[in-house]
Structure 1
Amino acid sequence: MQESNPYQAPVAELQADAGQVLAERGTRLGAVVVDGLIGLAVMTPVMWLGGYWSAVMAAAQRGEQVGFGLQLLWMGIGLLVFAAIHAWPLHVGGQTWGKRWLGIRIVTLDGRPVTVARALFARYLPLQAVGGIPCLGALAVLGSVCMIFRNDRRCGHDFVAGTRVVRVR
Structure 2
Amino acid sequence: MQDSNPYQAPAAEVRLDQGEVLAERGTRLGAALIDGLIGLAVMTPVMWLGGYWTAVVEATQRGEQVGLGLQAIWMVIGLLVFAAIHAWPLHVGGQTWGKRLLGIRIVTLDGRPVTAARALLARYLPLQAIGGIPCIGALAVLGSLCMIFRQDRRCGHDFVAGTRVVRAR
Place the TM-score, normalised by the shorter chain, in its bin. Answer: over 0.9
Write the deviation string for residues 108-128 of structure 1: whole angstroms up to 9, x where unpaired. Answer: 000011000100000000000
Q: Distance in 2 between matches of 1:37 and 1:5?
A: 36
The share of aligned pairs that are identical, in percent, is 82
In the other structure, the counterpart of 1:84 is 84
For residues 119-130 of structure 1, what are the structure 2 equivalents within 5 Å?
A: 119-130=119-130
Runs of 4+ in 1 over 3 A off after TM superposition: 3-11
1:19-98 to 2 correspondence within 5 Å? 19-98=19-98
The corresponding residue for 2:151 is 151
Post-superposition Cα deviations, 1:95-143, rounded to whole Å, max 9, x if no partner, equal: 0000000000000000011000100000000000000110000000000
Contact preservation (8 Å) 2:9, 2:150? no
Match of 2:113 in 1: 113
Give the Å deviation of 1:12: 2.7
Q: Name the amino acid aligned to 1:75.
A: M
**What is the TM-score normalised by the length of structure 2?**
0.95
Paired letter, 2:55 = A
Q: Structure 1 12/131 Cα, relative in aligned 2: closer, same or farther at 3 Å? A: same
SS of the residue corresponding to residue 18 of structure 1 reads coil
What TM-score do you get using the length of structure 1 for normalisation? Answer: 0.95
Partner of 1:132 in structure 2?
132
- C-alpha separation between the residues in 2 aligned to 1:13 and 1:99? 19
- In the alignment, structure 2 segments of 5+ residues that lack a partner are none
* Aligned-pair CA distance for 1:15: 1.1
Residue 15 of structure 1: aligned partner: 15
Q: Which residue of 2 aligns with 1:100?
A: 100
CA distance in 2, matches of 1:160, 1:80: 20
> What is the RMSD of the two structures over their aligned residues, measured on CA atoms?
1.4
Quick one: which amino acid aligns to residue 21 of structure 1? V
Structure 1's unaligned 5+ residue stretches are none
CA offsets 1:64-91 (integer angstroms, 9 cap, x no match): 1010000000000000000000000000
Q: Which amino acid aligns with 1:125?
A: L
Give the letter for the 1:135 counterpart: C
Contact kept in structure 1, 2:131 and 2:138, CA below 8 Å: yes
